[in-house]
Amino acid sequence: MLLQGRRESNHWWWKAARWERLEPELAAWLVERLKVFHDLIVTVDQAAGQSTGEPESKAPKVLPKGMGRLTYAAVETEVAAWDRFKNRRQVGSYAGLTGGVSASRQSSAVLSITKAGNRCGA
């Protein structure tokens, strides 16, 4: 569409309401080619909606701060059993997040979280 002078959002041109308004405004040959992509995108969007809808529906109504339903479901599925961790450090290590330490002789400082993980692990 852009090559034909039409700028449309990649996130919305294929949505039903937008497509209905857009289709009559475009040349027939362009609509014919876009329908192939339109149909594929709609099919994939519906499948994605169904696959995320089930895990989201299993999430509790009250979630940890900053966590959405789909993220909660993904974390719960990945961790499986929280009781296998003995402390918070093991949980952070499992995710590959541990506090950094800078030390030399008598002085040391705790640094921000790194993605290095902990070899002791969970």
Sketch the domain layout of the chain as residue ranges. Answer: 1-58, 86-122
Give the single-character DSSP code of 100: E
Q: pLDDT, tens digit, for every residue of 62-118? A: 888 888 888 888 888 888 888 999 988 888 888 777 777 778 888 888 777 766 555
Q: Rounded to the nearest 5°, which phi and psi values hold at 113?
A: -65, 140
Higher-confidence residue of 60 and 113: namely 60
Q: What pTM value is reported for the model?
A: 0.46
Q: How far apart are CA 68 and CA 38, in angstroms?
A: 29
Q: How far apart are CA 104 and CA 29, in angstroms?
A: 70
Residues 4-29, mean pLDDT to the nearest whole number: 87
Looking at residue 21, its amino acid is R
CA distance to 30, 86, 91, per residue, from 117 (Å): 52, 16, 10
Give the Cα-Cα-Cα angle 56, 59, 65 (nearest 5 degrees).
Answer: 105
pLDDT, position 113: 73
Give the single-character DSSP code of 95: T
pLDDT, position 102: 78
Q: pLDDT, tens digit, for every residue of 17-57? A: 889 999 999 999 999 999 999 999 999 988 887 777 677 77
The DSSP-derived string for 11-66 is TTTTSHHHHHHHGGGS-HHHHHHHHHHHHHHHHHHHHHHHHHHHHHHHS-SS--TT
